[in-house]
Amino acid sequence: MNFDFSDDQKLVRDQTARFLSEQCGIDVVRSVLEGKAPYSESVWQGLARMGLIGTGIPEQHGGAGAGYLELCLIAQELGAALAPVPFASTVYLLTEALLRFGTEEQQARLLPGIANGELKGALAVVETLEQATPERIATHFESGTLTGSKLVVPDGGIADLLLVLATDEQGSGLYLVDLRSTEVLRENIASVDPTRNTARIDFSGTAAERVGSAGAGWDCLQTLYDRAAVLYAFEQLGGALQALDMGVNYARERFAFGRPIGSFQAIKHMLADMYVAAKLAESNCYYAAWALSTDSDDLPLAAATARVSATQAYQQCSKDNIQVHGGMGFTWEFDCHLYYRRSNFLALELGGLNHWEDRLAANLQPAAVAGA
């Protein structure tokens, strides 16, 4: 299969990269890291003005009406820039849920506000330190209200709209809480990456409305995860390639014993391993992008493959980039730790690496039987 992005799609990527290089420098990332703000409002509004938040939203709802391929490339650039904004939670998760499962009335009411940057979203699933399963969901919906707690909600402390997985009389459902008119108890919690807001959220008779079919919450969540995993993988790919570039550039410029350290065998092998991991992830991401954009039956397998390889590549490249930088790579002043933090934060989203390895194995079994 010979897949590549079109010139127009690459132009979107280049424009995104230019904006982020000008408006989302490392000083902006560090400002959020140091607690001066929970996210970068200026970057968020800039993305909205450029139409990037509304990339996949239909034009009748204020969006650009573009496709998933453009969104994949935007995600890659956001990952490379470590953009401290709730783009993933709002676009990959909430927007996608409304587009696939929301009613026409919900879409008309909420999507314009998302597209123009007025509304930020989050998905609330996890309730324990164990892997989320239908049996471990205790948050309950009854008589139009939610009761329960969500332990870790990425971007939960800054969200305007919450999509919540909860049990109900028919099994489980996805429920939307509009925080513009409804109060919940939110507590920001520390995470490995302070540039991404994380919160605990408690519901006590909180008004909510269902998104999707009754009793289909868990199945809807799995569909949403397969689609969002591709975009998360591209964000991870962007970070991995940036960490690789940092390591290569430092190895060229840093001299020891009269030679650039990149000429030493140990460094060369480390950089080569980083390159192989990143390029493998890139190949898997490209196939997953095709599967997502065509709604292929291969999407669950392609998404799991991309997610696993991108997670592994980002963690390897960000970790080894620190090693290439030597003792200085561990210091606060160098930027290596920023990518290492983000790689570990993203690795835990959507269920974590073990979850996606299990999904990959499960999807490989029927594929192997079909090919026998």
**How confident is the model over 277-314, as pLDDT tens digits?**
999 999 999 999 999 999 999 999 999 999 999 999 99
The better pLDDT of the pair 166, 256 is held by: 166
Displacement of CA 338 from its chain's centroid (Å): 16
The residue out of 214, 234, 268 marking a domain boundary is 214
Distance between first and last Cα of the chain: 21
Are residue 142 and residue 53 in the same domain, yes or no?
Answer: no
* 190 and 139 both lie in a single domain: yes
Q: Indicate if 281 and 156 belong to the same structural domain.
A: no
Are 134 and 114 members of one domain? no
Q: Which residue, of 214, 242, 266, is where some domain finishes?
A: 214
Q: Is residue 170 part of a domain?
A: yes
Per-residue pLDDT band at 257 (split at 50, 70, 90): confident
pLDDT band at 201 (very low <50, low <70, confident <90, very high): very high
Q: Could you tell me if 193 and 307 lie in one domain?
A: no
Q: Which CATH number fits the domain that encloses residue 77? A: 1.10.540.10
d(CA 171, CA 168): 5
Q: Say what the alpha-carbon torsion angle 42, 71, 321, 153 is, to the nearest 10 degrees.
A: 70
- Tens of pLDDT, residue by residue over 125-153, are 999 888 888 899 999 999 999 999 999 99
Q: Is residue 45 part of a domain?
A: yes
Answer yes or no: do 26 and 75 share one domain.
yes
| 296 vs 226: CA distance, rounded Å | 12
Q: Is residue 362 part of a domain?
A: yes
User: Are 114 and 127 in a shared domain?
Assistant: no
Q: Are residues 291 and 270 in the same domain?
A: yes
* Domain final residue, candidates 55, 89, 119: 119
pLDDT for res 84:
97
Domain count of the fold of the chain: 3
Q: Do residues 238 and 296 both lie within one domain?
A: yes
Cα separation values, 234 from 43, 303, 309, 333, Å:
19, 11, 11, 27
Residues 13 and 106 in one domain: yes
C-alpha separations of 175 from 24, 161, 211 in Å: 33, 10, 6
- Do residues 31 and 70 share a domain? yes
- CATH number of domain containing 243: 1.20.140.10
| Contact (Cβ atoms closer than 8 angstroms) between residue 303 and residue 229 | yes
Q: Considering the chain, what is the average pLDDT of its residues?
A: 93
Q: How far is CA 255 from CA 41, 66, 252, 330, 335, in A?
A: 40, 47, 8, 19, 20
The beta-carbon contacts of 246-250 under 8 Å, at least 24 apart in sequence, are 246/321, 246/325, 246/335, 246/336, 246/339, 247/271, 247/274, 247/317, 247/320, 247/321, 247/324, 247/325, 250/324, 250/325
Report pLDDT digits (tens) over 211-227. 998 889 999 999 999 99
Residue ranges making up the domain that contains 54: 7-119
**Range 144-170 average pLDDT:** 95
Digit-coded pLDDT (tens) for 45-101: 999 999 999 999 999 999 999 999 999 999 999 999 999 999 999 999 999 999 999
> Is 17 a member of any domain?
yes
Q: Is 1 a member of any domain? A: no
Answer whether residue 2 is part of any domain. no
Q: Are residues 346 and 326 in the same domain?
A: yes
Q: Helices 265-294 and 299-324: crossing angle, nearest 10°?
A: 160
pLDDT of residue 370: 57
